[in-house]
Amino acid sequence: MAARRVALITGGGRGIGRAIALAFAREGLAVAVAARTRRQVEGTADDARDLGATALAVALDVTEPAAVGTAVREVARALGPVDVLVNNAGIAESAPFAKTDLDHWERHLRVNVTGPYLLTREVLPGMLERGWGRVVNIASLAGLAGAPYVSAYTASKHALVGLTRALAAEVAGQGVTVNAICPGYVATDMVWRGARNIAAKTGRSFEEAVAVMARANPGGRLIEPGEVAAAAVTLVHDERTNGETVILDGSPRN
């Protein structure tokens, strides 16, 4: 990349988002890390600065249209216009379909699909005008296949993959790429919460529950956040890949 690029990463306070922000910092990008409260991402921003990057902590509820516009303008004033958008903020809650009420359903769609829609709509025109941009959506293997007890999550991630492919077709040949990364279970707080939930409901130990989730990945192991971050870095540098779903399932090919 010839000039310093500016990246905005949502859900940047921990796990995958934090790993991506720090990987981008090492690559020389200026990074804006966003979460619902500024306190959640101040540590990530500080660590990015320790790596020599210019960094900004941003408070952002991705489901609020006005807040999205305000946050993007804040990033532009402090760092410059957003060149790289990583839609990482997301939720994952389980429930049998019969107990998936409307609030549960709509909450997943708001955070996992509408949030990326709002952010992408805010930054994409500038990317197209400048002739360079990257949108990286953090989806899931659940965006490519079905799984029991997570109908809302699965539907939302399928929708995010569909949005990725539609936008990629729309911006093709204009210097902007839109891709999705689809990891299996990743060693993050989200998985630890899931393991505790499994343990509470089944009587298994926490360690046994984690092992169950690891075995659910085709490679038989949990994905590390750094693996997702490495894939995101590759997509930022890659001018040709567009509309792809990068699968991270723990298999040797990954």
Q: Which domain holds residue 214?
A: 187-222
Residue 97, in any domain of the structure: yes
* 3 state SS of 247: strand
Total Cβ atoms within 10 A of residue 210 = 21
Do 104 and 167 lie in a common domain? yes
Do 160 and 87 lie in a common domain? yes
Determine the Cα–Cα distance for residues 46 and 198; give it in Å rounded to an integer: 35
* 3 state SS of 28: coil
Q: Which residues pair with 179 in a beta bridge?
A: 136
Q: Which helix (H) or strand (E) holds 50?
A: helix 38-50
Residue 213, in any domain of the structure: yes
Alpha carbon 65 to its chain's center: 18
CATH code of the domain covering residue 168? 3.40.50.720
Do 196 and 83 lie in a common domain? no
Number of structural domains (the chain) is 2
Contact 250, 217 (CB under 8 A): yes
- The catalytic residues are 153
| pTM for the model | 0.94
Contact 145, 151 (CB under 8 A): no
Q: Return the amino acid letter for 184.
A: G
Do 72 and 194 lie in a common domain? no
Q: Which helix (H) or strand (E) holds 166?
A: helix 151-171
Residue 253, in any domain of the structure: no
Determine the Cα–Cα distance for residues 58 and 31; give it in Å rounded to an integer: 10
Do 33 and 158 lie in a common domain? yes
Do 78 and 97 lie in a common domain? yes
Do 20 and 127 lie in a common domain? yes
Do 96 and 215 lie in a common domain? no
Closest to 146 (Cα-Cα) out of 132, 138, 156, 137: 156
Closest to 155 (Cα-Cα) out of 215, 110, 188, 222: 110
Full pLDDT tens readout for the chain, 254 residues: 446 899 999 999 999 999 999 999 999 999 999 999 888 899 999 999 999 999 999 999 999 999 999 999 999 999 999 999 999 999 999 999 999 999 999 999 999 999 999 999 999 999 999 999 999 999 999 999 998 999 999 999 999 999 999 999 999 999 999 999 999 999 988 888 888 888 888 889 999 889 988 999 999 999 999 999 999 999 999 999 999 999 999 988 65
Residue 252, in any domain of the structure: no
